[in-house]
């Protein structure tokens, strides 16, 4: 079962994966030979291509083909592991595939911890991408408090090209811990830094629902639809997130007493995303609100 992550997160993970040319002894039984590194690198490149394909399939709503590509990626990475030549980027991608492709928290955590240690041995550097992904794994496993220092390491690393991902995930972890006001602050900072971070709008809207502020819920979702349901971002955002936004917007309008506006949101959701789970829920809402087909 794939973890439900925003496409932007997956794209960032994949984009940050590049083949390293060195591997320290820490975390490795022996120092890999150039032949071992080359073999591992070859499998890694093939796996990375499969992950790219899996994400394209996911954006297109083809879950079956997406699962198949993740399995191919895992197969290649396990072959890379057998070679003994894996470096930090390889371990990072393996952890990502275990989590996003199969939701194997223990396996993902092991690989990401190893990737962080290897990066330190290889380059004497921190690995903010891996810290952020490890934090996401821990939150998804119900260990949000343990995830906080990993997000802090990532978001405060000046060499991390996309710290807004860690800012977003820190906000989400704080929400899971019931710290709603702090969660809003971090999610808003993430969106200021990167307004195209479409998943952050839905996370922020969920926090505002928990705070009971439907005015803010609707404002956030309106901002999401204006930006992320645009021709520029619609494909990369994907139907699942857009459908969910229309559903939550309709529910929020209904709670606010704006019945006609709620019906409009549900109708757009149903017409455009009838095959999505959120689209089917929009249809159910309409059947209650307009039992005769209004």
| pLDDT tens digits, one per residue of 56-80 | 998 787 899 999 999 999 999 999 9
pLDDT band at 286 (very low <50, low <70, confident <90, very high): very high
Question: How far apart are alpha carbons 133 and 280 in whole angstroms?
Answer: 31
Instruction: State residue 10's pLDDT score.
Output: 54
Contact 11, 235 (CB under 8 A): no
Listed in sequence order, the DSSP H helices in 177-258 are: 180-193, 198-211, 214-228, 234-237, 239-255
On the question of pLDDT at 280 being above 60, the answer is: yes
pLDDT of residue 12: 52
Q: What is the mean pLDDT of residues 17-40?
A: 61
Q: What is the pTM of this model?
A: 0.87
pLDDT above 60 (res 14): no
For residue 63, how many C-alpha atoms fall within 13 Å in the half-sphere facing its CB?
A: 10
Q: What is the pLDDT of residues 214-242, one digit of tens each?
A: 999 999 999 999 999 999 999 889 899 99
- The answer to whether 168 touches 189, Cβ cutoff 8 Å, is no
Q: Is 267 left (phi over 0), alpha (psi -120 to 50) or beta?
A: alpha
Sorting pLDDT into bands at 50, 70 and 90, what band is 125?
Answer: very high
Average pLDDT of the residues of the chain: 91
- Confirm if 78 and 104 have CB atoms less than 8 A apart: no
DSSP designation for 1: -
Q: Which residues contact 60 (CB under 8 A, 6 or more apart)?
A: none
User: What does the pLDDT average to over 176-183?
Assistant: 98
pLDDT of residue 30: 56
CA 200 to the chain's CA centroid: 10
pLDDT confidence band for 123 (50 / 70 / 90): very high
Question: At 168, is the secondary structure helix, strand, or coil?
Answer: helix
Distances 45 to 19, 77, 80, 206 between C-alpha atoms, Å? 8, 9, 10, 37
All domains of the chain, ordered by start, with CATH? Answer: 7-143+218-289 (1.25.40)
């Amino acid at each position: 079962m794939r973890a439900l992550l925003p496409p932007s997160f997956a794209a960032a993970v994949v984009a940050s994966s590049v083949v390293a040319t060195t591997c320290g002894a820490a975390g490795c039984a022996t120092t890999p030979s150039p032949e071992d590194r080359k073999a591992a690198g070859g499998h890694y490149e093939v796996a990375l291509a499969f992950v790219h394909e899996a994400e394209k399939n996911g954006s297109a709503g083809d879950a079956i083909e997406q699962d198949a590509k993740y399995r191919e990626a895992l197969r290649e990475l396990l072959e890379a592991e057998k070679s003994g030549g894996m470096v930090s980027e390889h371990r990072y991608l393996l952890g990502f595939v275990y989590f996003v492709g199969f939701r194997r928290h223990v396996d993902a955590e092991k690989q990401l911890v190893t990737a962080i240690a290897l990066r330190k041995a290889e380059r004497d550097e921190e690995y903010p991408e891996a810290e952020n992904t490890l934090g996401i794994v821990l939150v998804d496993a119900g260990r949000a408090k343990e995830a906080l220092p990993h997000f802090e390491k990532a978001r405060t690393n000046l060499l991390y090209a996309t710290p807004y991902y860690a800012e977003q995930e820190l906000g989400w972890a704080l929400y899971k811990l019931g710290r709603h006001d702090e969660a809003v602050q971090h999610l808003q900072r993430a969106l200021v830094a990167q307004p195209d971070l479409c998943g952050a709008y839905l996370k922020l809207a969920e926090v505002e629902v928990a705070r009971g502020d439907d005015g803010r819920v609707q404002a956030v979702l309106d901002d999401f639809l204006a930006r992320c349901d645009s021709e520029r971002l619609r494909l990369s955002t994907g139907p699942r997130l857009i459908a969910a936004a229309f559903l939550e917007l309709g529910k929020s309008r209904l709670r606010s007493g704006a019945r006609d506006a709620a019906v409009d949101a549900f109708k757009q959701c149903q017409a455009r995303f009838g095959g999505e789970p959120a689209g089917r829920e929009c249809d159910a809402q309409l059947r209650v609100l307009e039992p005769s087909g209004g």
